[in-house]
């Protein structure tokens, strides 16, 4: 599992996750991911390179979204692959964390 900080603007931080977000994947990135949610900025998380998402990975994303929401910020998930998107929808996370396929749409959600 790999986490890359792509861009930090005034309104949000854009990061990209790639690989398998299972137990070992979460262990590899969770500390850095949590630190990024503590910056006080909204986050856009590009999931286009995540090939598998386990429940622990969903918990990591949900925890970050709740933490950001509590401080008036947002977490938006960008471009998940079809199986990852299906897992997120099946778990009902799209009702808590917006899932979009376009970066411009993600930025608009952050700016609302």
Question: Domain holding 27: CATH number?
Answer: 3.30.750.24
Integer Cα distance of 102 and 67 in angstroms: 24
Between helix 23-37 and helix 55-70 the angle, nearest 10°, is: 10
- Cα dihedral sign, 86-108-105-61: negative
**Residues spanned by the domain of 11:** 2-111
Question: How does pLDDT run along the chain (112 residues), one tens digit per residue?
Answer: 999 999 877 889 999 999 999 999 999 999 999 999 888 899 999 999 999 999 999 999 999 999 999 999 999 999 999 999 999 999 999 999 999 999 999 999 999 8
Domain count, the chain: 1
Pairing of strands 75-78, 42-53: parallel
Distance, in Å, from the CA atom of 90 to the CA atom of 19, rounded to the nearest integer, reads 21
Q: What distance in Å separates the CA atoms of residue 106 and residue 52, rounded to the nearest whole number?
A: 22
């Amino acid at each position: 599992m790999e986490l890359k900080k792509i861009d930090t603007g005034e309104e949000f931080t854009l990061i990209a996750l790639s690989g398998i977000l299972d137990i070992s994947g979460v262990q590899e990135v969770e500390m850095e991911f949590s630190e990024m949610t503590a910056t006080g900025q909204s986050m856009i998380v590009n999931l286009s390179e995540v090939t598998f998402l386990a429940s622990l990975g969903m918990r990591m994303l949900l925890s970050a979204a709740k933490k950001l929401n509590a401080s008036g910020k947002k977490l938006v998930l960008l471009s998940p692959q079809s199986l990852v998107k299906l897992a997120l929808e099946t778990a009902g996370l799209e009702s808590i964390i917006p899932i979009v396929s376009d970066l411009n749409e993600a930025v608009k959600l952050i700016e609302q």
